[in-house]
Amino acid sequence: MAKLSLVFCVVLCLLNLVIEVTNGLAVPRSSGRTCIIGAGISGLATAKYLQDYGVTNFTVFEATRHIGGTWRFDPHVGVDEDGLPLYTSQYKYLRTNTPRETMEFEEFPFPEGTPSYPSGTCYYKYLKLFTKNYDLYKYIQFRSHVRSVRWNKDRWSLSYHNTETQSDEVASCDYVVLCSGHYSKPRWPKFEGAEAFKGSMIHSHDYKEPEPYRNRRVLLLGAGPSGLDLATHLVNVTQKLVHSHHLVYNQPNFPKNYVKKPDIRAFTTDGVIFVDGSFEQVDDVIFCTGFDFDYPFLDETSGVTVSGKFVLPVYQDIVNIRRPSMMFIGLTQVTITRVLLSQGEYAAAAIAGKFKLPPQEQMLKHWLSKVYYLDSIGKKIVNVNLIGNLQDQYFGNLTSEAGVKRAPPVLTEIRDFNAQIRLDDLLHYRDYDFNITDAFHYDRYYHPVDPNNVPCPIDIDF
């Protein structure tokens, strides 16, 4: 009881900063203008469903010259050709680590013959074909880097910089849908002596290909999805691959140049000391340590609290409770891509007036119930955007409230199986394809392809 009271006090303290009673309207008039930030998969999904619901008064503000977000490979490091921060974390030779069946629009499946684990390039082609097929380019305003989104009396004021004309512009929006993702701001851990290290040190966000690391001694930190994948890319080209992590999994039979190490204690000028007292000389360090939420264009007028690890309070992990005309797509953690597509449809349905959002007090109660649930299973307030094992229930909630087409439970089954088999058989789990037989069942069969020439039956120019 004391623990729950502490959580309640913490939550209330946070809410005192972000909640206030407004005029009681869940959303503004349905005829208003919608501004979507980002033309990655979340922004494209929201645009597609707005169009499906007959809403055409919207603009997608995309900072770069391209659609696709993190699914587009860009050879630049740090900044792009327009001097903007590089938002994509794509690297050469990437293959998806989740089956495409969990990453595609049900109404727009991949062509027959696409393996369940396509290349990153193939997935980008899929998004380009999707954008063309649904005539979404006409809604996208490229080279429009959003710098500020502020609440101004009864509407949103969106300020952006046009990198083509080098002009600063302002758009007035009745709705704002934030689709800028959260895989672009690297999370950097701090270690004693890191500033003294003489070798190269990058985050996986800036990793492009294995060749620069040929015959070098490389330290890889972290064993999340990126850390495990880069280990398979680098182990066959490096002189030594030192992998620091504490993941318990079925480690493959890597070559002898692979060295597993525990957590890092400190850096020296030419290497690393680990918590077990051992030392390794290394030339390069790659941090695979994840990403932080980052919405630098929001200020206190938005009504949400943003940290690197969470955004709150957000109803259904989509709707800004204080300002319900602002919605987020992609906040949810430990979910499949299909969740983003359902969120985009939910946002579009709300904007189109297909259903009415609950009163703010009810949305807040719903949000608090999730906070209490997470606390009951040992999670902290930083996990407030976690969905995880509640994914199938989450799909059901969006369906019952907004009429969003129910994602079949089999997708959650595939997600859970894939998460485990990736740890059990890291080098070969992509050698299998999935076939969904009905809403609850799937088959999995052996169908290896040349990893250097993964087929992609999508013919579209870049």
Is 99 found in the same domain as 237?
no
| 131 found inside a domain | yes
pLDDT in tens, the chain (462 residues): 344 443 544 455 455 544 454 443 445 555 689 999 999 999 999 999 999 999 999 999 999 999 999 999 999 999 999 999 999 999 999 999 999 999 999 999 999 999 999 999 999 999 999 999 999 999 999 999 999 999 999 999 999 999 999 999 999 999 999 999 888 899 999 999 999 999 999 999 999 999 999 999 999 999 999 999 999 999 999 999 999 999 999 999 999 999 999 999 999 999 999 999 999 999 999 999 999 999 999 999 999 999 999 999 999 999 999 999 999 999 999 999 999 999 999 999 999 999 999 999 999 999 999 999 999 999 998 999 999 999 999 999 999 999 999 999 999 999 999 999 999 999 999 999 999 999 999 999 999 999 999 999 999 876
Contact 313, 321 (CB under 8 A): yes
**Residues contacting 131, CB < 8 A, separation 6+:** 44, 67, 137, 140
Q: What is the spatial distance between Cα 94 and Cα 252, in angstroms, rounded to a whole number?
A: 19
* Same-domain status, 86 and 160: yes
- Please indicate, yes or no, whether residues 157 and 219 belong to a single structural domain of this protein: no
Q: Is 252 part of a structural domain of the chain?
A: yes
Residue 353 falls inside a structural domain: yes
Same domain? 295 vs 317: yes
137 within some domain: yes
Assess if residue 430 is contained within a domain.
no
d(CA 430, CA 421): 10
The total number of residues written for the chain in this structure: 462
- Domain hosting residue 48, numbered range: 30-185+291-411
Q: Is residue 223 part of a domain?
A: yes
**How many CB atoms within 10 Å of residue 292?**
16
- Residues 342 and 264 occupy one common structural domain: no
- Judge if 157 and 296 occupy the same domain: yes
Which phi-psi region, left, alpha or beta, contains residue 195 (left: φ > 0; alpha: ψ -120 to 50)?
A: alpha
Task: Give the whole-angstrom CA distance, residue 395 versus residue 337.
Answer: 12
Residue type, 108: F
Q: What are phi and psi of 165, to 5 degrees?
A: -95, -5
Q: Is residue 135 part of a domain?
A: yes
- Note whether 297 and 381 are same-domain residues: yes
Residue 190, strand partner residues: none
What CATH number is attached to the domain comprising 225? 3.50.50.60
Among all chains, which residue has been given the structure tokens 């969470």? Answer: 310
**φ and ψ at 290, to 5 degrees?**
85, -170
Domain co-membership, 43 together with 158: yes
Note whether residue 444 is domain-resident: no
Calpha distance 144→62 (Å, rounded): 5
The verdict on 120 and 177 lying in the same domain is yes
| Whether residue 230 is found in the same domain as residue 270 | yes
Q: Which of 235, 262, 287 is where one domain is finished?
A: 287
Are 157 and 303 members of one domain? yes
Task: At 400, list the tokens.
Answer: 């019952």
What CA–CA distance (Å, rounded) separates 290 from 264? 16
Task: Decide: pTM greater than 0.85.
Answer: yes
> How many domains is the chain partitioned into structurally?
2
**Residue 183 confidence (pLDDT):** 86
Same domain, 362 and 397: yes
Look at residues 411, 429, 450 and tell me which one is the last residue of a structural domain: 411
Q: Which residues contact 107 (CB under 8 A, 6 or more apart)?
A: none
